[in-house]
Amino acid sequence: EDKVVQSPLSLVVHEGDTVTLNCSYEVTNFRSLLWYKQEKKAPTFLFMLTSSGIEKKSGRLSSILDKKELFSILNITATQTGDSAVYLCAVQPAGGTSYGKLTFGQGTILTVHP
Amino acid sequence: EAGVTQFPSHSVIEKGQTVTLRCDPISGHDNLYWYRRVMGKEIKFLLHFVKESKQDESGMPNNRFLAERTGGTYSTLKVQPAELEDSGVYFCASSLDRVSYEQYFGPGTRLTVT
């Protein structure tokens, strides 16, 4: 069974700090890894990673995938209080009938204090 | 562009009753997914529609759960009869097609079975 483990489970920082969130995975037939941010309700899509070593960036957020070591990191620089949220990592299998089935980790709760 | 919408946002029912949850995907998205998060656990896949057909229903917990997507537009998830362990947040997501895999989530329906 596919498995995703995120660490840390929670993190408290002050504005301006840089944080690194970790996601390791085991999946039988890997296609992609996705990051989501969940504030109050709907998880919102951040990144999809399919290839090793290629950094994806969006503003202060960036993410990279290592398919050899089976992990991904999400970096947030110069954190702001608006970054406070649960960050979810999920993996997606390739092919077959289960190509739409995301397997999620438990999430990292990030709290940014002013 | 309107996002994925779900109705109701919150439902409280007694054990043994029936509840129907509704999801309206992003217009034009052929793929529709249902997920569930029970207290303290990670988000878990329930099933995946491609248009009106069930592509993958491997995550459906038992036959008390019935999902439909008539006409390939909105979807309903019926729980009958509800049990205490069905309590949780039910998320719906949609994606455009098999090439564009990013899944966009709705705000969820919080189901409480008492």
Provide the β-strand partners of residue A49: A33
Q: B31: Cβ–Cβ under 8 A, 6 or more apart, which residues?
A: A100, B48, B49, B50, B55, B94, B95, B96, B97, B98, B103
Measured CA angle at A64 (ends A58, A70), to 5 deg: 150
Average pLDDT of chain A is 94
Query: A-contacting residues of B 61-90, CB under 8 Å?
Result: none
| Chain segment B72-108, per-residue pLDDT in tens | 899 999 999 999 999 999 999 999 876 667 899 999 9
Chain A CB contacts of B59 under 8 Å are 101
What DSSP assignment string belongs to B73-109? S-EEEEESS--GGG-EEEEEEEES-SS----EE---E
Residue of A101, A104, A108 best to disrupt the B interface, most CBs of B under 10 A: A101
**Closest to B1 (Cα-Cα) out of B26, B23, B24:** B26
Please give the Cα distance from B50 to B58 (Å, whole number): 14
| Alpha-carbon distance values, A76 to A5, A67, A110 (Å) | 19, 21, 11
Average pLDDT of chain B is 93
| Chain segment A46-91, per-residue pLDDT in tens | 999 999 999 999 999 999 999 999 999 999 999 999 999 999 999 9
